């Protein structure tokens, strides 16, 4: 398998080098590692710097307008050094031939090219013309990878290793945290979201495949796995058992070497009591709830084609806290959806104030082509959307800082990531997503600590949503492996 830190001088002259540039969410990061694994299996060598590469794969994001702009900028930048540029990912799938026409600098490939990415790259480097795909609504097609039912199941006790036909993944980072994809696609029909149209219908990965990849990640030095998908609460519904995730989590937590399992992307309307209890109370599973509320006004949520409201959501949060008082909660909210009133915004403010969430992402509504929301009446002027985003952002910053202060005096279990020297490390507690929910800086960490180790620490202060803590009991390396 390739090593991203292998000096270029050590590579044979005839080896073709490839760099991956990834934009967007954790799901895209996993896709990039799977693409990298397939390329490695076909003899390509991966390099970290696009300037050193013969070819650059840009894994694009097509979620919102700013993400699309970032993707276009990355494609243009990737070609500055003379490398061949290949655009893949959500934006490439969503726009296909249109994107190819706008950016002749790049070859645009769709999801159907992923399984044969090495062959497609051969074509690009050899100058063989490729016809960019015409975008289709993937909900009308057979599901794409990752759930290929023809693949042989792997026994849960068998560690997965590179070279197995079903697992071609190369880690592009070296930290102790990694994402693992549960499923692909989404069956929900939220009025503002275009993702189902280009990601397709919801398809769960087989349980044994998920367990096998988790074993492999543990063997790569990963101690925290974040389970990702478009909607993790749907996992297993197409496998014939809605309780599949509840059964899977304890099995993942029992894998030797893993300290923590975290579930991301939960849909509130599908969070069954059994799953809530499993996340809140299973040793080795972080009591962490990444809940996609989007708003809390019942009236506006119905316009969004979503369920629930302030009282339902508060009850859900309180049920989780009754089981795990120190549980973490994050969500995203959209301001300025067509038809949103001042009363709707006030209702959202009421919910956020009462819920005491740990992290909240605030987004302004923007039209997405092909969605129901783009055709709705009641669009707000942009300055009004911006004003509401600023208003809720200010409130969220105050509320989440207060929530962090409530944790002063409590003991948190911090997974160490970066050694700052002198016994001080940064890391994240169970209530903190590794990428989005703040960090914990821990002092008095005993000698011998290593990245990925979990230590108990007393919270002594805060900096916004970040925590400052100190190890309260001696913990030698490996003394607290869970």
- Residue labelled with tokens 């070296």: 174
CB of 110 closer than 8 Å to CB of 93: yes
CB of 56 closer than 8 Å to CB of 83: yes
- Residue labelled with tokens 């993942």: 252
193: CB partners within 8 A, 6+ apart = 186, 368, 371
The distance from CA 294 to its chain's CA centroid, rounded to whole angstroms, is 17
Q: How many angstroms separate the CA atoms of 15 and 41, rounded? A: 13
- Of the candidates 123, 126, 119, 71, the one whose C-alpha atom is nearest the C-alpha of residue 95 is 71
List residues forming the annotated binding site.
25, 61, 90, 186, 190, 193
List residues forming the annotated binding site for [4Fe-4S] cluster.
25, 61, 90, 186, 190, 193
Q: How many angstroms separate the CA atoms of 309 and 317, rounded? A: 12
Which pair of structure tokens corresponds to residue 443? 């002092």
Q: How many angstroms separate the CA atoms of 33 and 22, rounded? A: 10
Q: How far is CA 385 from CA 130, 300, 336, 361, 380, in A?
A: 42, 15, 5, 15, 7
Which pair of structure tokens corresponds to residue 21? 């540039």
CB of 133 closer than 8 Å to CB of 110: yes
- Residue labelled with tokens 């087989």: 206
Q: How many angstroms separate the CA atoms of 396 and 402, rounded? A: 10
**b/e per residue, 90-99, with b = 16+ CB within 10 A?**
bbbbbbbeeb
CB of 475 closer than 8 Å to CB of 455: yes
Q: How many angstroms separate the CA atoms of 286 and 269, rounded? A: 21
Q: How many angstroms separate the CA atoms of 354 and 310, rounded? A: 9
The distance from CA 341 to its chain's CA centroid, rounded to whole angstroms, is 31
CB of 96 closer than 8 Å to CB of 113: no
**b/e per residue, 452-466, with b = 16+ CB within 10 A?**
bbbbebbbeebeebb
Q: How many angstroms separate the CA atoms of 41 and 43, rounded? A: 6
- Residue labelled with tokens 């049920």: 319
């Amino acid at each position: 398998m390739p090593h991203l830190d292998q000096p270029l001088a050590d590579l044979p002259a005839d080896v073709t080098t490839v760099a991956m540039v990834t934009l967007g969410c954790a799901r895209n990061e996993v896709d990039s590692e799977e693409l990298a694994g397939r390329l490695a299996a076909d003899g390509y060598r991966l390099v970290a710097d696009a300037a050193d590469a013969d070819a650059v794969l840009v894994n694009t994001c097509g979620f919102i307008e700013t993400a699309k702009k970032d993707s276009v900028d990355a494609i243009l930048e990737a070609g500055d050094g003379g490398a061949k540029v290949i655009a893949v990912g959500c934006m490439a799938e969503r726009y296909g031939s249109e994107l190819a026409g706008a950016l002749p600098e790049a070859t645009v490939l769709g999801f159907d090219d992923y399984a044969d990415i090495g062959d497609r790259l051969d074509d690009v480097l050899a100058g063989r013309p490729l016809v960019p795909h015409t975008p289709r609504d993937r909900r009308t097609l057979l599901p794409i990878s990752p759930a290929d039912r023809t693949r042989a199941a792997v026994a849960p006790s068998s560690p997965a290793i590179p070279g197995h036909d079903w697992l071609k993944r190369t880690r592009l980072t070296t930290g102790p945290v990694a994402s693992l994809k549960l499923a692909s696609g989404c069956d929900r029909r939220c009025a503002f979201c275009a993702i189902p149209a280009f990601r397709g219908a919801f398809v769960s990965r087989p349980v044994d495949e998920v367990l096998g990849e988790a074993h492999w990640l543990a063997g790569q030095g990963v101690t925290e796995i974040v389970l990702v998908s478009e909607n993790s609460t749907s996992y297993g519904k197409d496998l014939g058992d809605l309780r599949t995730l509840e059964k899977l989590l304890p099995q993942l937590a029992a894998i030797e070497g893993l300290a923590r399992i975290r579930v991301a992307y939960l849909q509130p309307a599908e969070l069954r009591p059994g799953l809530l209890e499993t996340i809140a109370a299973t040793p080795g599973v972080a009591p962490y709830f990444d809940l996609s509320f989007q708003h809390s006004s019942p009236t506006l949520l119905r316009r969004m084609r979503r369920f629930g409201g302030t009282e339902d959501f508060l009850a859900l949060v309180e049920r989780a806290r009754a089981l795990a008082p120190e549980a973490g909660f994050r969500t995203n909210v959209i301001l300025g959806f067509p038809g949103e009133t001042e009363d709707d915004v006030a209702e959202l403010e009421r919910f956020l104030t009462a819920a005491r969430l740990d992290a909240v992402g605030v987004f302004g509504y923007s039209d997405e082509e092909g969605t129901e929301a783009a055709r709705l009446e009641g669009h707000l002027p942009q300055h009004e959307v911006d004003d509401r985003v600023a208003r809720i952002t200010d409130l969220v910053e105050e509320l989440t800082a207060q929530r962090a202060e409530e944790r002063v005096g409590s003991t948190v279990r911090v997974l160490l990531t970066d050694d700052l020297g002198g016994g001080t490390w940064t890391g994240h507690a169970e209530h903190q997503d590794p990428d989005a929910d703040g960090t914990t800086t821990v002092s008095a960490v005993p000698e011998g600590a290593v990245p990925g180790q979990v230590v108990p620490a007393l919270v002594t202060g805060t900096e916004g949503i970040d925590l400052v803590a100190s190890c309260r009991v001696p913990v030698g390396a490996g003394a607290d492996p869970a």
